[in-house]
Amino acid sequence: MGQPVSQGSVRAGTVEIVPLRRKHLRAVMAIEEQVYTHPWTHSLFLSELALPASRVYVVARIDRVVVGYAGLMFAPDEAHVTTIAVDPEWQRRHVGTRLMAALTREAIERNYTAMTLEVRVSARGAQALYRRFGFVPEGARKGYYVGPAEDAVVMWARDIDTPDHARLVEALDRQAADGAHE
């Protein structure tokens, strides 16, 4: 897989995005418990993985170590980002960008034209990532999050199936792979 990577840098080609499998769940759960105050359970992840026609989950690996994961649910008219998380030691190192690029490609491959997600009002870094992918705020969900209680911003990216959007996703993914600053 290439040279070992220090935590201070992510070299081109070292972040590998692969389908989330049961064997990854221990690492996913460790990240989930660090990142979220109300983490998903192991059984919830298993139930999500049991729905491959309507769900896609991926992990980001560096030297075969899981450093992040993300999921997408397919509804009739939209692809809904269900979760995205990066190990705190690897945040702000382009892993989230690589995960979002993979989810967007998957939605496009399944002929979706729009993606949506909810994000905490206070999660400014996450919102900035989503904006780079063309997501814009279109609503709010009052009291959506618990522990701590907080509203959610509902964001949408529309027309993801256009050549312009494909070029945007490819450019973001290429910059992240090359280690450019987010």
pLDDT value at residue 90? 87
16, 70, 87, 47 alpha-carbon torsion, rounded to 10°: -110
pLDDT at 75: 95
- For residues 42 and 30, is the Cβ–Cβ distance under 8 A? no
* 39 found inside a domain: yes
Residue 38 lies in a domain: yes
For 165, the domain range is 15-177
Rounded to the nearest 10 degrees, the angle between the axes of helix 163-177 and helix 95-109 is: 150
In a domain, 31, yes or no: yes
The two beta strands, 150-158 and 114-120, are antiparallel
Tell me the C-alpha distance between 25 and 31, whole Å.
10
Predicted local confidence at residue 180, as pLDDT: 40
Give the tokens for residue 170. 């490819």
**What's the confidence (pLDDT) of residue 2?**
32
Counting beta carbons within 10 angstroms of the beta carbon of residue 55, is it exposed (0 to 12), middle (13 to 18) or buried (19 or more)?
A: middle
What is the pLDDT at residue 117? 96
**Catalytic amino acids?**
118, 130
Q: At what angle do helices 95-109 and 124-132 cross, to 10 degrees?
A: 50
pLDDT of residue 1: 32
- 8 Å CB contact between 96 and 60: no
Total domains in the fold of the chain: 1
pLDDT given for residue 10 in this prediction:
42
Identify whether 1 is part of a domain: no
Could you read off the pLDDT tens digit of each residue along the chain, which spans 182 residues?
333 333 334 443 488 999 999 999 999 999 999 998 889 999 999 999 999 999 999 999 998 899 999 999 999 999 999 999 999 988 888 899 999 999 999 999 999 999 999 999 999 999 999 999 999 999 999 989 887 889 999 999 999 999 999 999 999 998 888 774 33
The pLDDT score that the predictor gives to residue 3 is 31
Max CA separation in the chain (angstroms): 46
Residue 50 within any structural domain of the chain: yes
Residue 172 contacts residue 180 (beta carbons within 8 Å):
no
Q: Which two tokens stand for residue 165?
A: 């959007």
User: Could you tell me if residue 116 is inside a domain?
Assistant: yes
Q: For residue 5, is it within any domain? A: no
- Residue 103 confidence (pLDDT): 97
- The helix/strand/coil state of 140 is strand
CATH of residue 168: 3.40.630.30
Rounded to 10°, the helix 25-35/42-49 angle is 120
